[in-house]
Amino acid sequence: MAEFKRGMSAGAKAGAVYGIIFSIIAIVYTYTQLGPGEYIVYERAIGYIIAYAMVGLIFGTIYAAAYGHLPGAKSISKGISLGIIWWIVIGLGLGYYLGTIESMPVHAVTSLISALIWGVLVGFFWDRYRPKVR
């Protein structure tokens, strides 16, 4: 049970950090696309951070459950492995289901980068919350 709490904590923090990164990119991109009289709704960034933290809870729980079975010697490499699996199932599968197949090359690359960032972050935070040895 402690490992699931560790995974949930690592996933939520990874999701929040990812949400901050995504929000910054979204704000900068939106700023470059603004027309006269248009403005940026910054409150949406807070929603992204909260939403990604909640998705991170799921990702971290899956990471904790699969940790022993994931390829890789270190937590970050295991996170990258899970990120690639996550990308295949969610990124490509959901993209196909939602009908974004016409923009698939762009979607495939951006969702792969996203999944790898998630994997690195959850592996990093997993190590940060390792139980202390006395």
Query: Residue 104: pLDDT above 90?
Result: no
| Amino acid letter, 64 | A
Query: Residue 125: pLDDT above 90?
Result: yes
pLDDT on residue 94 = 76
- Mean pLDDT, rounded, of the chain: 85
Arithmetic mean of pLDDT, 3-19: 90
Percent of the chain's residues with pLDDT above 70: 93
Q: Name every residue whose Cβ is closer than 8 Å to that of residue 60 and which is 6 or more positions away in sequence.
A: 7, 8, 9, 10, 11, 12, 14, 15, 122, 125, 126
pTM over 0.75: yes
The alpha-helical segments, DSSP class H, found in 34-89 are: 43-66, 75-86
Report the alpha-carbon distance of residue 121 to residue 60 in Å, rounded.
10
